[in-house]
Structure 1
């Protein structure tokens, strides 16, 4: 589902995908037309509502691709960032998340696919964008629930500032992020630029569905977004 973005690292191949279908917006001339990062297949209602953060006012569009990332400015040169490497596993100790990743691609309509609903413990990442830990906004998506019950990001709305997110990467490194805020945005008023916009440091966006479940539309009305930044290596 954003200001200065990460530089294009020629030595690091881009990645593919994203979560949820919805409205489409063009965030930059160089950004691909993605589709609203809204997870539309979270249909379970018999488990009770998922934890919800405080509602926030806000708008959704397409996340920037790795190729559209700008070079870091002098002011961001000292901020922590890692070389490009695909994510393989995500852990969020506070809400007991421990799940593998799947890369998400665009479908024939230019909309980002969602993780398979058959596997509730699976996170997706936008593979044509920034990899978690690299400079820029890395986009990670997951279902809040499916027809089978609560899914990987069921507890996302209960995270608090300071909670940590650990993402193991294909090169053997681990990118550790600290949560800055957790907010809920109506899907028809999603803050595209803020969520997907370019950044000069390494940041992470975790996105799932939330808010009221519309039984007629079979979709949640909001998106829950976790904003986090990369911690220095320990």
Structure 2
């Protein structure tokens, strides 16, 4: 799951999410398969751990009205599984319409044609389970449980707080593309990584782990 890091892209407000996503659902299935193959490349190299995101205690938060305006992500926290990464990137599509991918184990990628976190629609985040012998940012994604929180920090100094609804492990040839990428009437989140058995022949995991959640609140530091 290694590729040149895409330059940060401003979230597009042109056209509906449905118009942009409908023609690309098949390509996004292929993109997830590409993630599964590339995430498993482990050659012993390692990269420095990225900056850590910070989840503020309730006493240091000021509530912000939701839904939020569009903004870039700057970090992701899931305290129940020890995820706290401030190493993020914006992911676009390559020339062949496959999803670009993070270039390091610690990086969390936001698909920039999905909703900005806290706005209406599904925010899609992808990261490695492991990479080049190093534990990936989403190494323990499958341990998230319903009711756990996932915080996405944004570059406008606000944080969108999501609660996990369900966690699914699915075969890659049965990936729930519409459930992950199709428009929603509220603000939701999807977290994707690889899982299941590692196939030595294909150098790929056979499954994907997908976390579904919904926005419950937003805050900024006091």
- Segments ≥4 residues shifted beyond 3 Å: 27-30
Q: Does the C-alpha gap of structure 1 residues 80 and 28 become closer, same or farther in structure 2, counting only changes over 3 Å? A: closer
CA–CA distance in structure 1, aligned partners of residues 146 and 216 of structure 2 = 13
Q: Residue 94 of structure 1 is aligned with which of 35, 60, 80?
A: 80
Tell me the equivalent position of 1:167.
152
Q: Does the C-alpha gap of structure 1 residues 91 and 29 become closer, same or farther in structure 2, counting only changes over 3 Å? A: closer
User: Conserved in 2, the CA contact under 8 Å of 1:85 and 1:169?
Assistant: yes
Q: Deviations over 1:144-199 (max 9, x none)?
A: 01122321100000110111111110111000111111111111011111111110
SS at match of 2:195: strand
CA–CA distance in structure 1, aligned partners of residues 19 and 136 of structure 2 = 35
Question: Which blocks of at least 5 consecutive residues in structure 2 are unaligned?
Answer: 1-9, 44-64
Q: Deviations over 1:109-163 (max 9, x none)?
A: 11111111xx211100101221111110000000001122321100000110111
* Alignment RMSD: 2.2
Asked whether 1:185 is paired with 2:182, we answer no
Q: How many equivalent pairs are there?
A: 177
Q: Does the C-alpha gap of structure 1 residues 194 and 87 become closer, same or farther in structure 2, counting only changes over 3 Å? A: same
Asked whether 1:111 is paired with 2:83, we answer no
Tell me the equivalent position of 1:66.
none
SS at match of 1:132: coil
CA–CA distance in structure 2, aligned partners of residues 150 and 44 of structure 1 = 12
Q: TM-score, normalised to structure 1's length?
A: 0.70
Q: Deviations over 1:23-64 (max 9, x none)?
A: xxxx96542524322422222689xxxxxxxxxxxxxxxxxx
Question: Which blocks of at least 5 consecutive residues in structure 1 are unaligned?
Answer: 1-12, 16-26, 47-78
User: Conserved in 1, the CA contact under 8 Å of 2:114 and 2:181?
Assistant: no
